[in-house]
Structure 1
């Protein structure tokens, strides 16, 4: 990989300035924090798995974090093909990335005032026809990502865009170029109804005490829909002259925090994933009790709606200065509605990993693993069992009235699928 001095620079770009976090020596395969970054003492580490220190990190230590910044599956293979590199050459793929999750970026050239990789950041309008085409396949998604120098994690077709109101107050979609920041992620499902179902769950969860990003449905044409998710790692301001100013926020997913490769995101941690994550939050969160309670609510929500894709990369931490907190919940899809998806949960509940085998006693064990009282978990279960089905039904009817008629039927199917798990959770809650 051609780089200046055979190095790859790691940056953090919040919006107004670029910080050089460190560099990777491509000959020795070592990552080292820069001395000015270490001397600042107000900046967070790249990851909890890469704590601030003067000694360099070996590749085995830093690779899981960097791999976690890249897309997975077919989208990764398509991106590698577009770049004409091997799909296991993660550094070559990242060297093109100025817009990752959080505020991390990469440069093949040293960064100073005369050489700012974000100096050409800009936006251009994009129409829905082009968005629809870009979300139609892995190859098209990879090409759109290359154009924006964008790297989005996960396995669904995703596209990062920015949205800004025009002079009449209508929303205008913009394509980020040259490292400009996206403000929203648009996702199309590889199976029909996935965007609609994810929308129903996410929008309803926000009314049931679960912190989630804002979501909406976007019509792509020809009956296709995409879910539009407002990025929680972005803060957006519209300046007086109408330009968009976006501040990036530092984040990492829990697989990165724990030094785990994306391919092992479904692995159950020791002694359990729930216990290990609660331990992580207790040691690193600025408000551990609040975040552990939030984790408990997310885990019950995933169980109730049938989201078996609740793996380590679908939970994240936000870092700002000395503060660390659990990020809003995201990518909550009721997978049990689809026969093609496994019913093995990404995180075990109590003694059971198969969602249909969970019994009320498993939630007693879950409370113990999280280090919270059984009564607190029971109260949370009662709240979700009472509010969530009603919220899903109301949202389905509301969307049907706005033109998305299928959502009323999707809501009915989702609520019916939830009934056996709701009965199990209510049995625990009423003890």
Structure 2
């Protein structure tokens, strides 16, 4: 049986994704949408110049909207009685609130985003929110669904997380109707010691060095340590919430999330990302996206952010305009490093992955792929020399309820100067 999912971008019908009875997937833009002025493509891999796009590009895009965790997919499948192996079936259940401006509806269902009711929510107290957070940790660990009423959202990535709406009064709420989620909450699951603190400090250090970074805060909710990120793909205009379109670089390059690591699975690296940047239609976007990505890439390599794969970079899409999205999921490995175990970059630099073997000259040369010329040397030198002050600033500015002399921050500041590319 043929199944259709209508795809809307912030309430505007863009086209239809179709799965045939043999499992083939296609996406076809509505002609009226494709021909309209300032239409935004669903993906850079699915340009508006072509009306129909095949499974080779459609499947990786849809996969990128779902969690990377098999156990999390199993829990979603159990909750809605669908196959965890069917991306299409999963998105029929959780596709109403995903990354970017996308809302997915079965044929015949209207987009709730098309209405002007985007402020209807159900307030949750700390006790209920604590249960939700504890349950999502178990779902990612065990693949067992719980009956929390957390909405039909889907969050990409491998870490346990939920998405909620934050009201103007500062209350957490489950969105109803067309109201989008506005924040992502990641509970500390215990796999890495105080990873929330490490992520906050790394994000703040990246911002200190001039990178655009997603707003984030550390919270304690019902006794749980929680890392909270404000969604940059949501915005409020005159009291009405809107979804803003974005996609990660694996989606842009039609690469399955299972192949996100260049080092482990042959996923996207500097060469393919530079090629994508060069293909952008506007020269200013090629320049700005190239520079912003390169600066972020250098930060991740120098800071020892060993998980900086292609899904941890995204682009914002608005009409034909493209910009690098604010950075997210930045975590230095420094506080967990013993000083001896080899550390590897998620992407190679001139064919080299080992942080102890990557040279500053190789990093500078990588910048030439983005047309930066001599500026790449300035970015590398500034990042290397200011890395320790950036982290010192970030630790000093941790919120009052976090002990600034905690063991994890002490380990971070002790090991950070020992990272191979850091100048101290």
Give the drift of 1:258.
0.4
1:71-108 per-residue CA deviation (whole Å, 9 max, x = no partner) reads: 11122222122222222111011012210000111111
Q: How far does residue 270 in structure 1 lie from its aligned partner after superposition?
A: 8.9
Gaps of 5+ in 1: 240-244
Aligned to 1:194: 195
2:398 is paired with a residue whose SS is: helix
Q: Quote the residue 1:242 is aligned against.
A: none
Q: Distance in 1 between matches of 2:344 and 2:227?
A: 25
Matched, 1:255 2:250: yes
Question: Any conservation in 2 of the 1:304–1:418 contact (CA below 8 Å)?
Answer: no
Matched, 1:183 2:186: no
> Which has the higher mean CA deviation after the structures are superposed, 199-208 or 334-343?
334-343
TM-score by length of 2: 0.86
CA distances 1:283-324 after superposition (whole Å, capped 9, x unpaired): 216522222121121112112221111111011110111211
The correspondence for 1:151, drawn from 132, 139, 154, is 154
CA distance in 2, matches of 1:381, 1:185: 32
Q: Which moved more, 1:228-237 or 1:405-414?
A: 405-414
The alignment status of 1:81 with 2:78, answered yes or no, reads yes
Give the aligned partner of residue 13 of structure 2: 19
Q: What's the counterpart of residue 171 of structure 2?
A: 172
Distance in structure 2 (CA, Å) of the matches to 1:107 and 1:254: 25
Matches within 5 A, 1:322-341: 322-338=320-336
Equivalent residue for 1:246?
241
Deviations 1:163-217 (A, max 9, x none): 1223xxxx22222134420111111233231111000111222121010011110
Q: What is the deviation of 1:342?
A: 8.6
Q: How many residues align?
A: 405
2:381 aligned with 1:382, yes or no?
yes
Whether the 8 Å contact between 2:17 and 2:25 is mirrored in structure 1 is: no
- How far does the alpha carbon of each residue in 1:123-164 deviate from its partner, in whole angstroms, 9 at most, with x for none? 111122322222224455765887311011001111111212
Q: Which residue of 1 aligns with 2:87?
A: 90
Partner SS state of residue 306, structure 1: coil
Please say which of residues 386-395 and 312-321 is displaced more in the overlay: 386-395
Contact preservation (8 Å) 1:344, 1:355: yes
Match of 1:277 in 2: 273
TM-score by length of 1: 0.85
CA shift in 2, pair 1:182/1:20, >3 Å: same
Q: Aligned-pair distance for 1:249? A: 0.5
1:258-281: CA deviation from partner (whole Å, max 9, x where unpaired): 000000001269998112212211
Structure-2 separation of matches of 1:197 and 1:181: 28
1:47 aligns with one of 25, 43, 49 = 43
Assess, with a 3 A threshold, how the Cα gap between structure 1 residues 146 and 306 changes in structure 2: closer, same or farther: farther
Match of 1:124 in 2: 122
Give a deviation string over 1:337-389, Cα, whole Å, max 9, x none.
4369993322112231122332333224323333322x422322332234332
1:10: which partner in 2? 7
Q: How does 1:26-425 map to 2 (within 5 A)?
A: 26-27=20-21, 29-53=25-49, 55-73=51-69, 74-96=71-93, 97-111=95-109, 115-118=110-113, 122-136=120-134, 137-139=136-138, 143=146, 147-166=150-169, 171-190=170-189, 191=191, 192-222=193-223, 224-237=224-237, 239=239, 245-267=240-262, 273-284=269-280, 286-338=284-336, 343-373=343-373, 375-399=374-398, 402-405=400-403, 408-421=406-419, 424-425=421-422
Distance 1:394 1:221, change over 3 A: farther
* SS of aligned partner of 1:22: strand
Distance in 1 (CA, whole Å) between partners of 2:351 and 2:405 is: 35
| Residues 196, 331 of structure 1: alpha-carbon distance in 2 compared, 3 angstrom cutoff | same
Specify the SS of the correspondent of 2:62: helix
**Cα separation, partners in 2 of 1:155 and 1:162, compared to 1, 3 Å:** same
Does the 8 Å contact 1:186/1:228 carry over to 2?
A: yes
